[in-house]
Amino acid sequence: MPDVVSFTAMENASRADYDLVFEHDMKNIQGQADRVIQWMEMMGGDSPYKISRLDHCLQTATRAQSDGADEETIVCALLHDIGDVISPANHSQAAAALLRPYVSEKNYWIVLHHGLFQGYYWMQHYDQDRNSRDALIDSPHYQACVDFCANWDQVSFDPDYKSQPLEYFIPMVRRIFARSPGANL
């Protein structure tokens, strides 16, 4: 099999070309957990909060675990703000897109909407409706997202909170990203 495809336009590709592309894609998929861990490490820098963005994520995941959440939910709590690294303007959507092939519809929905739901805690300071999340009240995941934000996310900016280190969560991240993409949709 050649190292590069033979085509310059997809319409001219052969099965062998796409076999090569899919093989390359599979290697990228297999390396996803490593990239996610690197992105998490990048969140350890300066922050306007009293803690780094990484520490915020570690606190959120530690709180989820302490409350008895399942492993998938703990990983979602850990990665809920990972979008800050790759797309700060829509961090919730970026994090949700990353997780979607590997997690349940419920956890995907929570990560997707947590930014809006966090608005409950700050929107009134900018003359916005803090209850704008209520537009989604008919979702079966609405209350779970309220609880995620209230119990784990919005309280996780505490420099005195003892959270687990990133290394503790790495095996969990690897197990979630080892799932077959799309199997949980």
Q: Domains in the chain, please, with CATH? A: 14-177 (1.10.3210.10)
Q: Which of 56, 84, 62, 82 is nearest to 74 (CA)?
A: 62
Asked if 40 and 78 touch (Cβ cutoff 8 Å), the reply is yes
Strands (E), 14-161: none
Q: Give me the residue label for tokens 């005195």.
A: 160
Question: CA Rg, the chain, in Å?
Answer: 19
Residue 25: per-residue pLDDT: 82
pLDDT tens digits, one per residue of 66-92:
999 999 999 999 999 999 998 999 999
Residue 126: per-residue pLDDT: 97
Residue 184: per-residue pLDDT: 60
Q: Which of 78, 105, 110, 106 is nearest to 93 (CA)?
A: 110
Provide the whole-model pTM: 0.92
